[in-house]
Structure 1
Amino acid sequence: MSEFEQEWKQWHADREASYGDPLGWVSLTGLYWLTDDFETVADLPGRWKADADSVTVEGVDGVSTLSPVEGAPGILVEDGDRRIEVIRRTGSVALRVHDPEAPTLKAYKGIPAYEPDEKFVVTATFAPYDSPVTVTTGAVVEGLEHHHTAAGTLDFEWAGAAQQLVAFGGKDAELRVLFTDATSGVTTYPAARILTVPAAQDGTVVLDFNRAANLPCAFTDYATCPVAPAENRLTVAIEAGEKNPR
């Protein structure tokens, strides 16, 4: 086995272990949106309400006030072996429930993927924007938006044609690309896959599509992931990286 294959297999094993976490994404059992009136939520303890500033929970260690940050990982509240994650998305607040006994976690068998192939490692030219650009995308949950800071474009050639992707992040830092291609909705997850790209050196970067990864929404209906921006919907087939696990 080559060093390239060994490194990919370790990356893949780490990815599979991460999603198998007892309180990770595959353990989610619900996503519940709060209103500004106190209400009980499914079988969760206490009563909950949310407004533009905070979340109030009554009956879980008295009365507590939580302040989840827009777009950030949620605040975790313990409920026995479960964790209630309080998130804010596009101004609204929801509760996500992580349960180590979730049926989806018990059925989890890893992440299907294409076999690694070095032909899917390509060199791209990074052209930074003069100043950061905000790119707004939709989400897998209708009505939500994600706002990304775009650093520039990545130009490369594939299937004999010029291709371009918009990269998010800082121009001197690690970049991230949300994209779809001709395999999306066929063998790979339809909304988007993500590719992490090292910081540009002398205006060039290496795109290793063997590491095109699923977002959490590929595994659960209770994630709020972004979809790929219109600029990153490739018409060519990138038969590399992770496949649709569902």
Structure 2
Amino acid sequence: MTVQATERAGFVHQWEQWHAEHERAVGDPHGFLAVTSLRWLTAEPTRFPDAPGEWSSTAAGVTVELADGEELTVHGTAVRGWHDFGIIAERASVLAGAGDAVVEVAKRGGHDILRPRHPDHPLRVGYTTTPAHAPDPRWAVSGRFLPFESPRAVTVGAAVEGLQHVYDAPGQVEFELAGRTHRLTVFNGARPGSFHLLFTDATSGVTTYQANRSLSIAEPDDRGAVVIDFNRATNLPCAYTDLATCPLPPAENRLPVAVEAGEKIPYERTGGR
């Protein structure tokens, strides 16, 4: 085996390990495929069929009134009767156990929401895998991070009509693809110094989900160099379910070229297997 073939085999093996872990997360018993409803809380106490208690939201935060025999587990502690979740931060979530289910209390786009998650939900039970392009090293593109003088607040749309998200953008990544130079805005990632990229491309709505795809980028080196590995482009929850509030990419993150890498349209949206 040549050195080039050995390196490619190693690249494919690393992708396969990463993708297997990603698939396990998608099919988690309390993952987004288990969400049975999306509830927009108001000041009027309201009971929902897939979650215990009467729920309400005011400027003081989210509260629930549990009836006799009802119980939630919050941060490992059983709660009964009235419980105050307080003010939920934007994009934060509190997961409250309810038997085999979990009730997500969250804030998205300035609105308090409730999303019960039931492991026996048919969407989760029926999930097998997400189709994806075969990994190819040519889609792991070298680029560089171009920081803004100071982070910029960027407002983007959402999968839910009328909802908006605001993210802090530390800068852009610049790279060459299909003979052209591109610059895409990135948001702060899950790990300090890393980035989160939302984008569409010429395959969006054809072979990949039309609204968005997501990509994590590791922190740049001391010269600002980054690797944008489109093989690891994944779908957001809205690609699978209408009960998601996913952000849409900034306008400048719409690539005019076809990125034939990463995850494709889920079977759940095409009716196929």
* 1:198-237 to 2 correspondences below 5 Å: 198-201=218-221, 202-237=223-258
Indicate the residue corresponding to 1:83 in structure 2.
Answer: 102
Q: Confirm or deny that 1:148 pairs with 2:155.
A: no
Does structure 1 retain, via aligned residues, the 8 Å contact 2:91–2:107?
A: yes
Larger mean Cα displacement after TM superposition, 66-75 or 189-198: 66-75
What is the TM-score when the length of structure 1 is the normalising length? 0.94
Instruction: Identify which range, 212-221 or 2-11, moves more after superposition.
Output: 212-221
1:243 to 236, 251, 264: 264
Contact in 1 for aligned 2:36/2:50 (Cα 8 Å):
no
Provide Cα deviations, 1:61-120, integer angstroms capped at 9, x if missing partner: 111111252333421222221111111122221110100110001110112100001111
Counterpart of 2:217 in structure 1 is 197
Partners of 2:35 and 2:87 in 1: CA distance: 18
* Corresponding residue for residue 176 of structure 1: 196
Q: Look up the match of 2:90.
A: 71
Match 1:100 to one of 115, 119, 123: 119
Give the 3-state SS of the residue equivalent to 2:51 in structure 1: coil
RMSD between aligned alpha carbons?
A: 1.6
C-alpha separation between the residues in 2 aligned to 1:91 and 1:7?
A: 39
Instruction: Give the count of matched residue pairs.
Output: 245
Using the TM superposition, name which of 73-82 and 152-161 deviates more: 73-82
Is the 1:167–1:177 contact (alpha carbons within 8 Å) kept by the matching residues of 2?
Answer: yes
Contact 2:40 2:114 in 1 (8 A): yes
Could you give the per-residue CA deviations for residues 151-200 of structure 1, whole angstroms, max 9, x where no partner exists? 11111111111211111128x81111111101111111122111111111
Name stretches of at least 5 consecutive residues in structure 2 with no aligned partner: 1-7, 71-79
Counterpart for residue 186 of structure 1 = 206
Check if 1:8 corresponds to 2:28: no
Deviation at 1:237, TM superposition (A): 0.6
Measured in 1, the distance between the counterparts of 2:55 and 2:172 equals 43
Q: CA deviation at 1:243?
A: 1.0
SS of the residue 1:146 aligns to: strand
Distance 1:35 1:219 in 2: 27
Normalised to the residue count of structure 2, the TM-score between the two structures is: 0.85
| Matching residue within 29, 41, 45 for 2:48 | 41
Q: Does 1:111 align with 2:118?
A: no
Q: Structure 2 CA distance, aligned partners of 1:77 and 1:168?
A: 28
Distance in 1 separating the partners of 2:185 and 2:95: 33
Q: Report deviation, 1:203.
A: 2.0
Q: Is the 8 A contact 2:169 2:188 kept in 1?
A: yes
SS at match of 1:105: helix
Label 1:118 to 1:157 Cα distance change in 2 as closer, same or farther (>3 A): same
Q: 1:169 and 1:89 mapped to 2: Cα distance?
A: 17
Moved over 6 A (4+): none
Q: Tell me the SS of whatever aligns to 2:37.
A: strand
Letter in 2 for 1:155: E
In structure 2, the partner of 1:32 is 39
Structure 2 residue 167 is the aligned partner of structure 1 residue 164:
no
Percent identity between the two aligned chains: 47
